[in-house]
Amino acid sequence: MFLNGVAMCIIGLCAGTMVAAGTFAFIVMIGIFTRMADRTHTSAYISIYENAVILGGAIGNILFIYNVRLPLYGAGLVLFGAFSGIFVGSLAIALAEVLKVFPILVARIKLIEGLPILVLSVAAGKAVGSLIQFIFGWT
């Protein structure tokens, strides 16, 4: 029984680490940090950007996993909301820039037929996943 619990802890830790690493690699790959540093002329501080994201992700995971409640009132909530909005906005803009790649990709691989099916499949998969999450209450 004890070994089963230890194995589950190790598997959960490894799986969570892989998902977090994939998420951060995706965010870095689409170039949010390099674009922000370039636009704000702060390229010398790119390591600070990277460390802030790593630290924010790690602390956020710890707070979520252990269900830690932070007593944020007034100014704390405003700061949290501002930083969250900046991050989400930067991610959305970077994704919008990446989406310009699809027409080039379709032309290069000569995908003439099946693009609507591909888009519909992605949308249907997202819808089914959301329904399963809401029906079974998974969070």
119 shares a domain with 63: no
Q: What pLDDT is stored for residue 10 in this prediction?
A: 87
Residues 67, 16 share a domain: yes
Does pTM top 0.75 for this prediction?
no
* Structural domain count of the chain: 2
Q: Is the pLDDT of residue 101 over 80?
A: no
Domain span at residue 135 reads: 101-139
Question: If you average pLDDT over residues 38-64, what whole number do you get?
Answer: 82
The verdict on residue 111 lying in a domain is yes
Q: Render pLDDT for 67-97 as a digit per residue (tens, 0 to 9).
A: 888 888 888 888 888 887 777 777 766 776 6
| Short-list 86, 80, 91, CA closest to 28 | 91
In a domain, 91, yes or no: no
The whole-chain average pLDDT of the chain stands at: 79
Q: How far is CA 40 from CA 7, 64, 80, 128, in A?
A: 46, 31, 21, 40
Instruction: Evaluate if residue 27 carries a pLDDT over 80.
Output: no
If you compute the radius of gyration of the chain from its CA atoms, what whole number of angstroms results?
A: 20
Given 32, 56, 71, which residue is the final one in a domain? 71
pLDDT (mean) for 91-107: 70
